[in-house]
Amino acid sequence: MAHEQRIWLRRVALLLILLVAGYLRVHDRDYITAFVDEGSFIMVGRMVLAHPFQVPHSTPLNYMFGWYLWPVMAGVADHLGGLSGVRALTGILGVLVVLGVYGFGRRLFSEDVGLASAAVFALLAPAVYTSRMGTYDSSALCFLVFGLWLYVCAWQENKGWYWFLSGICLFLSFLSKYFVALYFPFLVLLAFRKGRRPFWTFSVPLAAYCAIFLYFFAGNMAALIRFGQGHKELTAPNEQLWGIYVVNRIEFWILATISLLAWPRRNDARKWLAPLLWLGATLMLAFQAWSRADYNIWKHINYSLLFVTPLAMAGLIRILRKLPQKIYPAIAIILAGALSGALGFIGHSWQLDKFEFWPNVTPILRFLDGRLKPETKLLADDLVFQFYIDGSPKPSRTTYPYYLDYAGSTGGPAYAAAVRDGLFDYVILDGWASPKSRAMRDAIRPALSERYVLRLEQPIRQMTGKIEAYERSRPPRLQPIMEFFHGQLNQETWILAENKDLRHYVTPTIQPTHLIDPEGFQFGDQSGIAACAEAVRERLFTYVILGGGRDPKSQRMREAILPMVEQRYALRKQIADLQDGDEYQIYERTTADTALPRVEIREPATGAAVRTKGIEATLKGVVFGSRSGWYVRTDIYTNKWYPQGDKIFPNATDGAFTQTIYLGGPCNHFVRVRLFDETGKQVASASSYGVARANPDGTPPACP
C-alpha cells in the first residue's frame, strides 16, 4: 500500500509541476507585440502554406537555421489563433520539454531525480522565456529531449522501436534547428556498444534521413553557411561577454557546480554517465564559442541545461540519500522546491517585463490604423512590420533596412534620397537595435524634415530608444507622374521606364516584374537594350516613360527605342521635374496596325497564368490577309527557342488557328507566332510575354 501511495503522490507532484510550468509559459500570451523572429517565422509559414514567397523571405532556407518544419507549425497555429495561437503552441511544447526532462532524468537515474529535474526546469528562466516566444527553439528542444528520453529507453531495453522512434525525434529536432546535428555523431558512436540492432534501427535510418536532406538542400545549406560566416549582428563586444555568459546565466553555472556532486565513484558501474552528460552540455558551449552568437546564449543555454539539470539533481539526491529515511522525503522536497524557486527568482521567470528586449509597436499600429490604403508606401526600420502590415503573401508595401536601390545608389545614400524625394507616405521607426536599422535611421534623419512631419513619439520601456512615426507633409518629387497614372494602373499594366526609380512609386499597384528598365531585361533571345527595343516593336508595354535616366545605359536605351516609340505609341503628357531639371514624356500604346497581312495571339495573353494539363496548353490565334499556301509557326523561348509542332495552315474562312504548346517551367515563357508566305518569307509576327503556368487552383505561380 505504501508503494502505491508513493506512486500516486509522485504522479500528483508531476502534475503540479506541469501545471506550474504551463501557467508560466501559456498565460498572458499578448504581453507584447511580436518579436522580429516570431513575425519572420510566421510569414515564412504563411508563404509555405500559400505557395508564393516574397522578399525578404523569397529564399528563407538560405538564412534560416532550420528547415520549414517550425514555420509550417507556426503558420498553422497562426491560422487558428494568430500570434497568441503561436505562443500557445510554444508554451505547450515548453510543458512537453519539462515532461521530457522528467522522463530523461527518471530513466537515467531515478524517479526522484526525474521529479526534481522537472521542478527545476519548470522554473528556469531560459526555458520559460524560450517557451513564451514563437521561435523554433521550442520545437527543437521538445523533439531533442524526447529523442534523448527514447534513446535512454532504447539503451536500457534494446528494443528496435525505441531506437527507431529516437532517431525520428532527433531528426525532427534537427529540422527545427540545424545545430542539433552536433549530437548525432556521439549518439551514433555510443550506440555501437549495443550491437547490431541499434545500427539498423537507429544509426542507418538517421544517416539516411540526413543524407536525403542534404541531397535536396545542399545548395541551401552552403548558402546558409556563407550567410552565417558574414552574419555578425549577434556578436557582442568583448567587454560584455562576462555579463552575457556568466552574470546573466548564473543559473546554469549554479547547476553545473551542483552537478559536480555526481562525480563518478571509482567502483561505480555507470561511471561513464556523468562525463557523457557533461560532454552533451559542453557541445553547445563549444558551438557558441565558434559561432559567437553571443546575444542568443539566453536560449541556446537550454540545450546544455537538458544535460546538466538531471546530473545536478542526481548529485543532490545522492547527498540527501545519506539522511535518515524518515526525513529524506521532506528534506528532498524542500530543497528541490527551494532550489527551483531560487533559480526562477534569479532569472525573473515570472516577471515578463524583464524579458522585453524588443520594442512594443502597439502605438505605431494604432497610429496606422485606418490610414493604410492599398497604394500606401512605408519605410520601416524593423522587419516585424511585415508581419503586421504586409501580413499575407502579396507584393510588399513596406521598405525595410536590408536593401534599397534608388537614385543610382544603395544603402544609406539610397534611403536618404528616397526620403528626400518623398517616396514613402509614412516612415515608422521603433528603435530596433540591429546595425542595419541603426545605419538606416542615421542616414535618413537629416532628410526627414524636408518632406515629413513627426506625428508620434514615445519612449520604449526597457530600452533606450523611442518609437516614432512620420507622415509625409509635402508631395513626392514625382507626384505629377503619379497623378497622370491615378486610377489607370492594374496588375496587367506593363511599363518601360528610363528612370528605374519609378518602380518604387507604382509597386504594389502593378506587379514589380512589369516595370522594366534596361538593367537585365530579357525578351525572347534578346537582353538589355536590344530586348527593350524588340519589346517596344512588339508593343509589349502599356506605357513608355522617357526621362530621368541618370546613367549612360538609360540614355542609350532612349536613343535606341525613341524612333519606334514615336511610331507605335502616342505622347500623352510632358512633365518638367522642377527639382532637378529632368523632363519626362509619357507615351501610351496605340492600337495595333491594321495593315495586312498580320497575325494576332488571342490566348495566352501577355502576363497570363495559363491552366495546363501537365505542361500542355492551347494557343489560339487568328491571321488576317493570309493567302493560299501561307502558314504559321509557333515558338516558345525560355533558355532558348523551342519550336511548337509543325506548320499550321490557318482556317481559310476566318483565319483562326490553334496550336498545342508546352510550358516546361512555371514562369516567364515568351510565346511567338510568325506568319510565312508560300516561299518561306516571314511576313508578320505576334508575341505574348511573361506567360506562366498556373497553380492547380488557378492562381499565378510565385515567379521572380
Please say if the pLDDT value at position 270 is more than 60: yes
Q: Are residue 506 and residue 428 in the same domain, yes or no?
A: no
Return the pLDDT at 293: 84
pLDDT surpassing 90 at residue 313:
yes
Does 525 map to a domain? yes
- Tell whether 44 and 157 lie within a shared domain: yes
- Would residue 3 count as lying in a domain? no
CATH assignment of the domain containing 534: 3.40.190
Torsion angle of the four alpha carbons 675, 677, 680, 683, in this order, in degrees rounded to the nearest 10 = -50
Domain membership of residue 175 (yes or no) is yes
Mean pLDDT of the chain: 85
Average pLDDT value for residue range 64-70? 86
Q: For residue 572, is pLDDT > 90?
A: no
259 vs 557, more confident? 259
- Tell me the torsion sign for CA atoms 13, 15, 18, 24: negative
What is the pLDDT at residue 593? 56
Average pLDDT over residues 250-270: 87
157 lies in some domain: yes
Residue 393: pLDDT over 50: no
pLDDT tens-digit profile of 110-146?
999 999 999 999 999 999 999 999 999 999 999 999 9
1 confidence band (pLDDT: 50, 70, 90): very low
What's the pLDDT at 204?
94
Residue 263 inside a domain? The answer is: yes
Q: Are residues 124 and 239 in the same domain?
A: yes
Please tell me whether residues 176 and 271 are part of one structural domain: yes
Long-range contacts of 163-171 (CB under 8 A, 24+ apart): 163/191, 163/197, 163/198, 163/201, 163/202, 164/201, 164/202, 164/205, 166/202, 167/201, 167/202, 167/205, 167/206, 167/209, 168/205, 169/143, 169/144, 170/143, 170/144, 170/206, 171/206, 171/209, 171/210
Region 625-644 average pLDDT: 86
pLDDT tens digits, 80-108 = 999 999 999 999 999 999 999 999 999 99
* pLDDT at residue 531 greater than cutoff 50: yes
Of 4-13, 57-66, 450-459, give the lowest mean pLDDT range. 57-66
First vs last C-alpha separation in the chain: 71
The CA distance from 500 to 485, in Å, is: 16
Most confident of 131-140, 284-293, 373-382, 513-522: 131-140
Residues 450-479 have pLDDT tens digits of: 889 999 988 877 666 788 999 998 888 877
Residues 295 and 437 in one domain: no
Confidence of residue 400 (pLDDT cuts 50, 70, 90): confident
- Which of 539, 564, 589 is at the close of a domain? 589
Q: Is the pLDDT of residue 59 over 80?
A: no
**What is d(CA 260, CA 314) in angstroms, rounded to the nearest whole number?**
10
Could you check whether the bond before residue 56 is cis, i.e. omega within 30 degrees of 0?
Answer: yes
Mark whether 681 and 585 lie in a shared domain: no
> In this predicted model, what pLDDT tens digit does every residue of 503-519 receive, in sequence order?
777 765 555 556 777 76
321: amino acid identity, one letter = R
Average pLDDT (139-165) is 95
* Same domain membership, residue 417 and residue 548: no
Would you say residue 17 lies in a domain?
no
Average pLDDT over residues 653-659: 87
Question: For the chain, how many structural domains are there in total?
Answer: 4
CA-to-CA dists, residue 647 to 370, 471, 685, angstroms: 58, 60, 14
Contacts of 550 (CB under 8 A, 6+ apart): 407, 408, 499
Residue 212, class by beta-carbon neighbours within 10 Å (0-12 exposed, 13-18 middle, 19+ buried)? exposed
Q: What is the pLDDT of residue 43?
A: 85
295 lies in the same domain as 193: yes
Would residue 18 count as lying in a domain? no
Domain membership flag for residue 55: yes
Lowest model confidence (mean pLDDT) among 253-257, 344-348, 594-598: 594-598
Is the pLDDT score of 578 beyond 60?
A: no
Q: Are residues 465 and 512 in the same domain?
A: no
Give residue 641's domain range: 598-693
205 shares its domain with 321: yes
Q: Point out the least confidently predicted range of 44-53, 269-278, 609-618, 678-687.
A: 44-53
Between 159-168, 249-258, 674-683, the lowest mean confidence (pLDDT) is in: 674-683
Highest mean pLDDT among 240-254, 265-279, 345-359, 642-656: 240-254
Are 430 and 381 a contacting pair, CB within 8 Å? Answer: yes
Please say which residue of 324, 355, 386 terminates a domain: 355
User: What pLDDT, on a 0 to 100 scale, did the predictor assign at position 419?
Assistant: 92
Q: Would you state the pLDDT for residue 479? A: 79
Residues 330 and 388 in one domain: no
Q: Are residues 561 and 659 in the same domain?
A: no
Final residue belonging to a domain, choices 561, 589, 617 = 589
Question: Residue 209: pLDDT above 80?
Answer: yes
pLDDT value of position 397? 75
List the CATH number of the domain containing 629: 2.60.40.650
